[in-house]
Structure 1
């Protein structure tokens, strides 16, 4: 779990962590972002994780396929 800044929403802080992991290559292209794992790692509710994935999807960093999950988009496919 991370130490949360009380002046910023948790979902934004988690999105920052995931962005950093994508940028560093820790989460390579086509890496599955598990909502259950994020819930457990960050100690938050599913609704918070869904806000994170929605924000990353809007930024073009991930893509979500119903029934399969959310995956890191390859660099050449990003907006």
Structure 2
């Protein structure tokens, strides 16, 4: 991925993940793998976590302690 140097990487990654959620590429209950995203976007895990946190604050992602982060049900996002 080519990053815009004027914007934080986590925001750009959050945009990509948001698009994947909205398009259905990541359906409800899809579990995010921080390790996979870290590798895919070539960033540190803390950057991936910031992106997921932003999506959680939007209600697109839910995180369950000890289980991980998942795409929220469509019904719960309304």
Common topology (TM > 0.5): yes
Listed one character per residue, the Cα deviations across residues 52-72 of structure 1 (whole Å, up to 9, x for unaligned) are 111000000000011111000
CA distance in 2, matches of 1:28, 1:6: 30
Q: Could you tell me which runs of 5 or more consecutive residues in structure 2 were left unpaired when the two chains were aligned.
A: none
After superposing on structure 2, the runs of 4+ consecutive aligned residues of structure 1 that deviate more than 6 Å are none
Equivalent position of 1:25 in the other structure: 24
Question: SS at 2:6's partner residue?
Answer: coil
Q: Could you tell me which runs of 5 or more consecutive residues in structure 1 were left unpaired when the two chains were aligned.
A: none
Listed one character per residue, the Cα deviations across residues 6-46 of structure 1 (whole Å, up to 9, x for unaligned) are 01100000000000000000000000011111100000001
Superposition TM-score, scaled by structure 2 size: 0.96
RMSD value, Cα: 0.8
